[in-house]
């Protein structure tokens, strides 16, 4: 099968569908925001969501622009190696479900730092946890903003950097409005709507692609091979097209993807929006089914884009590899389907950046302002005011960073966020929950050491310089670290530093608090709201 030549794009139709979505979700956010009467309402939606509702919201939070635009593009261009992103992102949920979901819900109140500082010294641990939370959120925001710029440039035919930068500014401004007005409750409802639309849209396109190929997966793969003239025959069906030259890079990526989810602050915070640990478990099970189904669709959509659009056409589009899903929708259903799918992709970006932003703002307001500066004696209303101001600051930083990373593959940028989360947060979370000998020094060493090593290795990797796709281009080269993902070094280092800091610490932590945390994490006794088992 030869590639289908996409029909002409219709910018007016695309922007109309998108504005309709924004209008509907703004109404939802404003209505939900009316009920934000306390800090718990603003931070966690009043813990009023059921397991299935929260499962959809988790899926909405997790199925970001990277999942939809980045992974479909990676599969379309690099085939088998691109699908490894889907596998890694999905397997990661088993780590989150089995190791952290219920225990975090039982032990914490609003943020990840509530758990990490439960039996350790509040000040240093909360500052470190807030620092790592803000770093992970910033990396994740960069990916979403890059997706926004590329997507709109494709929709509106804007190819110059200035136009794309203006789009990033508009998306950032919308995100700030969503979070300021709606808080966690409004953000959650936007994520539920967006997850439903995204999964329905991906399902419809997958059925369409399979129908063209007689519902025969082999025929679809053969079409993708026949159209992929830029690579050797069958190369997109075999491992090695992207990571063949450096298998260690693939291992590093896989470790980061599988371990990263359990350390993502905006995903962990979702466990506090349900009333009980039982509902936390239910929400993760729902999320796994929804996310697992979606990642199966990415396989069909990726190879469908390779077959119907072609890798060369995708790479030549304004959004580069991130354009595969929109171009596939254009080839299948013309401007109307492109408008709908692009509106969903936009919804995806808006919902995810809103979720990340409220997590970062909550962490700063609750952990640094409320617990460190005010030493837990501040007014919760003042905390919320600080959180709202933080939202504006984070929004501005995200806009600036998003303008700087235009053209990068967003699945790849998210993988970096996962590496930072797994290096800086996961060791401390697991040690806090499962090792009574863990100390404040171990926590601080682990978080700062994991964070700084991950960021340092990223800066000196091919991500920043030395290749045509680097942020600084080929002309600048300070890529002393050969791998594109730092996980293989920084994640073990985070665990080693946590252990080393604890065994060398002269100050031992309270065994009473350690016992209390163990009982609470396993039973939920004393946790926020009654626990129903």
Please give the Cα distance from 430 to 256 (Å, whole number): 16
Radius of gyration of the chain (CA): 22
Task: Decide: pTM greater than 0.85.
Answer: no
- Which sign, positive or negative, has the C-alpha torsion 449, 450, 451, 456? positive
Please give the Cα distance from 302 to 522 (Å, whole number): 42
At 361, phi and psi to the nearest 5?
Answer: -65, -40
Residue 94's alpha-carbon distances to 99, 134, 243, 368, 507, in angstroms, are 8, 25, 25, 31, 35
Six-digit token string for 287:
């999320």
Six-digit token string for 183:
């808080």
Please give the Cα distance from 478 to 452 (Å, whole number): 18
pLDDT tens-digit map of 293-311:
999 999 999 999 988 988 7
Q: Does residue 24 have a pLDDT over 70?
A: yes
Q: For residue 275, is it within any domain? A: yes
What pLDDT score was predicted for residue 532?
39
Q: For residue 531, is it within any domain? A: no
Q: For residue 77, is it within any domain? A: yes
What pLDDT score was predicted for residue 44?
64
Banded model confidence at residue 531, pLDDT cuts 50, 70, 90: very low
Q: For residue 432, is it within any domain? A: no
pLDDT tens-digit map of 62-82:
887 667 888 898 898 888 888
Q: Does residue 136 have a pLDDT over 50?
A: yes
Q: For residue 182, is it within any domain? A: yes
At 99, phi and psi to the nearest 5?
Answer: -105, -35
DSSP-assigned states of every residue in 34-82: TT--SHHHHHHGGG---HHHHHHHHHHHHS-HIIIIIHHHHHHHHTHHH
> Which residues does 265 contact at the CB level (< 8 Å), separation at least 6?
111, 112, 132, 133, 136, 137, 359, 360, 363, 421, 425
**CB atoms closer than 10 angstroms to residue 165:** 17
Contact between residue 13 and residue 335 where contact means Cβ atoms under 8 Å apart: yes
Give buried/exposed letters for 131-163 (b at 16+ CB in 10 A, else e).
bbbbbbbbbbbbbbbbbbbbbbbbbbebeeeee
Six-digit token string for 447:
């978080």
pLDDT tens-digit map of 433-490:
888 888 999 999 999 999 999 999 988 888 777 777 676 666 777 778 888 889 999 9
Banded model confidence at residue 230, pLDDT cuts 50, 70, 90: low
CATH number of the domain where residue 291 is located: 1.20.1730.10
State the residue range of the domain holding 79.
51-418
Q: Does residue 5 have a pLDDT over 50?
A: no
Top mean-pLDDT range of 152-156, 265-269, 283-287, 366-370? 283-287
pLDDT tens-digit map of 324-342:
888 899 889 888 888 888 7
What pLDDT score was predicted for residue 530?
40
Give the chain's mean pLDDT. 81
Q: For residue 74, is it within any domain? A: yes
Q: Please state the domain count of the chain.
A: 1
Q: For residue 426, is it within any domain? A: no
3-state secondary structure of 425: coil
What pLDDT score was predicted for residue 38?
63
Please give the Cα distance from 383 to 380 (Å, whole number): 5
Angle (nearest 5°) at CA 50 between 47 and 51: 115
pLDDT tens-digit map of 358-372:
888 888 888 888 778
Banded model confidence at residue 229, pLDDT cuts 50, 70, 90: low
Please give the Cα distance from 421 to 434 (Å, whole number): 19
What pLDDT score was predicted for residue 454?
92
355, 357, 361, 363 alpha-carbon torsion, rounded to 10°: 60
3-state secondary structure of 134: helix
Q: For residue 472, is it within any domain? A: no
> Which residues does 204 contact at the CB level (< 8 Å), separation at least 6?
none
Please give the Cα distance from 32 to 25 (Å, whole number): 10
Banded model confidence at residue 422, pLDDT cuts 50, 70, 90: very high
> For residue 457, which of 474, 482, 425 has the smallest C-alpha distance?
482
């Amino acid at each position: 099968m030869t590639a289908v030549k996409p029909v002409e794009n219709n910018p007016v139709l695309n922007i109309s569908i998108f504005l309709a979505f924004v209008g509907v979700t703004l109404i939802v956010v404003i209505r939900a925001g009316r009920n934000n009467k306390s800090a718990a309402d603003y931070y966690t939606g009043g813990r009023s969501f059921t397991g299935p509702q929260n499962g959809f919201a988790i899926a909405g939070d997790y199925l970001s622009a990277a999942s939809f635009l980045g992974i479909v593009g990676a599969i379309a261009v690099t085939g088998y190696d691109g699908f490894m992103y889907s596998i890694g992102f999905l397997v990661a949920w088993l780590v989150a479900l089995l190791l952290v979901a219920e225990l975090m819900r039982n032990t914490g109140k609003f943020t990840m730092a509530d758990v990490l500082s439960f039996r350790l010294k509040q000040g240093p641990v909360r500052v470190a946890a807030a620092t790592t939370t803000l770093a992970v959120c910033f990396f994740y925001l960069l990916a979403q903003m890059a997706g926004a710029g590329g997507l709109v440039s494709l929709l509106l035919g804007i190819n110059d950097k200035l136009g794309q930068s203006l789009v990033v500014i508009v998306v950032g401004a919308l995100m700030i409005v969503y979070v300021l007005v709606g808080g966690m409750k409004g953000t959650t409802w936007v994520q539920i709507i967006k997850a439903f639309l995204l999964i329905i849209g991906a399902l419809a396109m997958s059925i369409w692609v399979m129908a063209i190929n007689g519902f025969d997966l082999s025929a679809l793969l053969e079409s993708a091979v026949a159209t992929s003239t830029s690579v050797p025959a069958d190369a997109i069906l075999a491992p090695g097209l992207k990571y063949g030259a450096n298998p260690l890079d693939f291992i590093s990526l896989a470790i980061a993807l599988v371990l990263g989810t359990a350390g993502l602050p905006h995903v962990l915070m979702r466990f506090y929006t349900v009333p009980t640990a039982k509902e936390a478990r239910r929400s993760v099970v729902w999320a796994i089914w929804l996310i697992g189904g979606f990642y199966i669709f990415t396989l069909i959509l990726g190879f469908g884009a390779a077959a119907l659009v072609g890798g060369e056409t995708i790479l030549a589009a304004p959004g580069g590899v991130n354009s595969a899903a929109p171009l596939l929708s254009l080839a299948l259903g013309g401007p109307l389907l492109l408008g709908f799918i692009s509106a969903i992709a936009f919804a995806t970006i808006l919902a995810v950046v809103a979720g990340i932003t409220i997590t970062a703002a909550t962490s700063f307001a609750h952990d640094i302002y409320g617990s460190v500066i005010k030493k837990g004696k501040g007014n919760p209303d003042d905390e919320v005011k600080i959180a709202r101001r933080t939202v504006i600051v984070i929004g501005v930083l995200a806009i600036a960073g998003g303008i700087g990373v235009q053209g990068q593959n967003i699945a790849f940028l998210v993988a970096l966020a996962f590496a930072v989360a797994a290096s800086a947060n996961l060791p401390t979370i697991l040690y806090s929950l499962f090792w009574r000998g863990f100390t404040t020094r171990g926590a601080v060493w682990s978080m700062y050491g994991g964070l700084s090593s991950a960021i340092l290795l990223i800066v000196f990797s091919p991500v920043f310089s030395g290749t045509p796709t680097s942020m600084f281009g080929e002309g600048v080269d300070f890529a002393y670290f050969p791998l594109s993902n730092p996980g293989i070094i920084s994640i073990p280092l985070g665990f080693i530093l946590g252990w080393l800091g604890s065994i060398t610490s002269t100050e031992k932590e309270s065994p009473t608090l350690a016992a209390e945390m163990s009982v609470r994490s396993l039973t939920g006794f004393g946790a926020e709201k009654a626990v129903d088992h």
